[in-house]
Amino acid sequence: MVLSKNSGGHRGMQESMYSVIALVFILVACVELCDAAAAIDVYRLIQYDMSGSAYGSRFAVLNHHAAALHFPPGADLSRAVLIIPLRELNITFVREYINQKKPLGGLLFLLPDIFSFENGGNKQVHEKEKLKNLLAELEQLLIHANIPYPVYFAFENDEIDTVLADIKKNDAIGQPATATTGGYKLVIPTPEPKKVASPTITNIQGWLSGLKVDGDTNQLPTIAIVASYDTFGAAPALSVGSDSNGSGVVALLEIARLFSLLYSNPKTRGRYNLLFGLTSGGPYNYNGTQKWLRSFDQRLRESIDYAICLNSIGSWDNELWIHVSKPPENAYIKQIFEGFSNVAEELHIKVGLKHKKINISNPRVAWEHEQFSRLRVTAATLSEISTAPELLQGTGGLFDSRQFVNETAITRGVKLVAESLARHIYGHQGKNVQIFADGGSLAVNPAYIQSWLDLLSQTPRVAPFLSKNDPFVMALQKELADHTDEVNMQHEVLEGVFTFYDSTSARLNIYQVASVTFDLLLLLVLGSYLIVLFSFLVITTRGLDDLISLFRRPPSRKVKTA
């Protein structure tokens, strides 16, 4: 009986021991990398495969020492992260590094504040244009290279500026940062990037019905106004594409609003249906537009008189271009172009016509109207860009921020398109009638344009990272539903040529670390301090003889036996 009681008590003690040990383990594991010298948000370079070839930065985890430019020649950088502010960027240096596949631990680019939305504001920075062009060039270089180490972008702020100044000072002394000399350590604890499974593209369309006169059984003709809303850039978490194609989306929404006002009253409703399309998949050869058009039934497609696609109308001064794929001698093209020219003259805008033949066998689709033309629908693209962009160029990258877009340009563009459309719909071609005159109830609303432009400039919109129910997509749908009779969403999978990887943004911790030699030195100092303390105490309390006796061996036994 006694034994069992004992063992019971013993077991109880054992259990409490286990719980104490468990608690100790938890405490041990709990200490994490808190307390960094600085912690900033960083955005990773895009990682994607195109037709099987790998592009972009292939890694995300970072745990290396920091180095700045002007490192001592011959220094081993394979375990160092180069921090390069955009202002000091030498593009040939970076190009050489990437093309020659020199080993590097990582790259961190620091972008000036003007490219961020929160802090950009209206700061007047000289050399704005130069920085913009430099960033565009850097972006193109990085997107088309296969980089086997992490590349991140961050915005300059005080913390990282002081860190960088410190690193440069250390480099100037001639002490590159390695494991034994101290310095700064950059740590990004993020999981390995995984493929984005079945990236979806969502097309949103709004339908405004025209006035059907009783007894008229024919299908009313339709005019389509289309803009693609997604972007592609070097840093998907920063690709807000204010101009490409945020300006187009904003213009489309404003045009929809104006025409919904007109069409709300049956007396002013036109005899044309209006179809508004916000398409996705723009950077990928307008894949989304193609799928959207394929989903139409034949009758609808045949009823489309023409389509106007809006692409980048946010930063022009006086000249716009209309790009077509049918030859300019075509009667329909002539009609459209004349309509636009007449209105443009009144608004003191110069409009030019550019013709680019489409090649059916070439998968490259440079303009959105080409997807319409491939299905034999007359279409044109209105843009400030005069030459066709290459693949993944001009799709709203890092440099395309709010600072560089002008609301007045968008307002004038909206007026141009709306007036031209209205004159065509109501049959006032050639007449000098101002339907959307300033100051009237149908005036273009600059506040509306500005607020939507601001929203778009804060929302990165790379299609694979926009889910089906993304709040932004829902917002677009709701807005279009406000202005049109019927809204439909079409969800498709972006299949085929492109594969994307996630992990687009992370938090960078910068630690100031001491070198191993420092710790060893400290150990030496402390050891000698304790020995000195020990000797001092022994001498003062027991006497010097005691101290010496500690070190002398005990007298040998030989004396005794003698």
Partner 1 sequence: MTMFHFFNCAILTFGPHAVYYSATPLSEYDTLGTSVKAALVYLGTALVKLVCLATFLKVSENDGFDPYQELLKAVIGFIDVAGLYFALTQLTHRNISQNHKFQAVGLGWAFADSVLHRLAPLWVGARGLEFTWDFILQGLEANANLVLSISLAALGSLMWLRKNKPKTLIPIIYACAGIVATMPSITSYLRRGLGWHFPKVVGFELFTSLSMAFISWQLFSACQRPSS
Task: Using the Cα atoms of residue 514, residue 518, residue 520 and residue 524 in order, give the sign of their dihedral.
Answer: negative
Q: Which of 23, 537, 544, 548 binds partner 1 (CB under 8 A)?
A: 537
CB of 23 to partner 1, least distance (A): 13
Closer to partner 1 by CB, 290 or 509: give it.
509
CA 517/CA 523 separation, integer angstroms: 10
Closer to partner 1 by CB, 108 or 510: give it.
510
Binding segment (CB under 8 A) for partner 1, from list 123-131, 137-145, 360-368, 520-528: 520-528
Closer to partner 1 by CB, 362 or 551: give it.
551
Give me the 29-68 binding string for partner 1, x by CB under 8 A, dash otherwise: --x-xxxxx-------------------------------
Overall residue count recorded for the chain in this entry? 562
Binding segment (CB under 8 A) for partner 1, from list 228-236, 241-249, 256-264, 517-525: 517-525
Structure tokens at 145: 């290279």
The answer to whether residues 193 and 57 touch, using CB atoms and an 8 Å cutoff, is: no
CB of 57 to partner 1, least distance (A): 24
Q: Which of 264, 486, 534, 549 binds partner 1 (CB under 8 A)?
A: 534
The residue type of 250 is V
Kindly report whether the peptide bond that precedes residue 311 is cis, defined as omega within 30 degrees of 0: no
Nearest to 182 by CA among 521, 524, 516: 516
The number of beta carbons lying within 10 Å of the beta carbon of residue 454 is: 16
Residue with tokens 């860009």: 385
93 contacts: CB under 8 Å, gap ≥ 6? 69
Closer to partner 1 by CB, 145 or 187: give it.
187
CB of 165 to partner 1, least distance (A): 18
The answer to whether residues 346 and 436 touch, using CB atoms and an 8 Å cutoff, is: no
Angle separating helix axes 407-426 and 248-264, nearest 10 degrees: 40
CB of 182 to partner 1, least distance (A): 8
Closer to partner 1 by CB, 375 or 550: give it.
550
541 near partner 1, judged by CB under 8 A: yes
Closer to partner 1 by CB, 51 or 540: give it.
540
CA 499/CA 11 separation, integer angstroms: 58
Query: Which strand (E) or helix (H) includes residue 366?
Result: none
CB of 540 to partner 1, least distance (A): 8
User: For residues 385-404, which are near partner 1 according to CB under 8 A?
Assistant: none
CA 6/CA 3 separation, integer angstroms: 5
Strands (E), 167-269: 183-188, 200-208, 222-228
Closer to partner 1 by CB, 172 or 533: give it.
533
Q: Which of 451, 542, 544, 549 binds partner 1 (CB under 8 A)?
A: 542
CA 549/CA 144 separation, integer angstroms: 76
User: For residues 284-303, which are near partner 1 according to CB under 8 A?
Assistant: none
433 near partner 1, judged by CB under 8 A: no
The DSSP letter of residue 73 is T
User: For residues 121-140, which are near partner 1 according to CB under 8 A?
Assistant: none
Give me the 454-493 binding string for partner 1, x by CB under 8 A, dash otherwise: ----------------------------------------
Q: Which of 493, 516, 544, 548 binds partner 1 (CB under 8 A)?
A: 516
Residue with tokens 């709004």: 206
With H, G, I as helix, E, B as strand and everything else as coil, classify residue 185. strand
CB of 190 to partner 1, least distance (A): 17
Task: Using the Cα atoms of residue 85, residue 87, residue 93 and residue 99 in order, give the sign of their dihedral.
Answer: positive
545 near partner 1, judged by CB under 8 A: no
CB of 518 to partner 1, least distance (A): 8
Binding segment (CB under 8 A) for partner 1, from list 27-35, 43-51, 152-160, 285-293: 27-35
The residue type of 406 is N
544 near partner 1, judged by CB under 8 A: no
Q: Which of 187, 211, 358, 497 binds partner 1 (CB under 8 A)?
A: 187
The answer to whether residues 279 and 492 touch, using CB atoms and an 8 Å cutoff, is: no
Q: Which of 7, 19, 467, 512 binds partner 1 (CB under 8 A)?
A: 512
528 near partner 1, judged by CB under 8 A: no
- Strands 106-111, 151-155: pairing is parallel
CA 492/CA 503 separation, integer angstroms: 23
358 near partner 1, judged by CB under 8 A: no
CB of 191 to partner 1, least distance (A): 20
Within 296-383, residue ranges assigned H as helices are 298-303, 331-346, 369-374
360 near partner 1, judged by CB under 8 A: no
The answer to whether residues 132 and 243 touch, using CB atoms and an 8 Å cutoff, is: no
Q: How many residues bind partner 1 (CB under 8 A)?
A: 29
Q: Which stretches of the chain bind partner 1, using CB under 8 A?
A: 27, 31, 33-37, 182, 185, 187, 511-514, 516, 519, 522-523, 526, 529-530, 533-538, 541-542
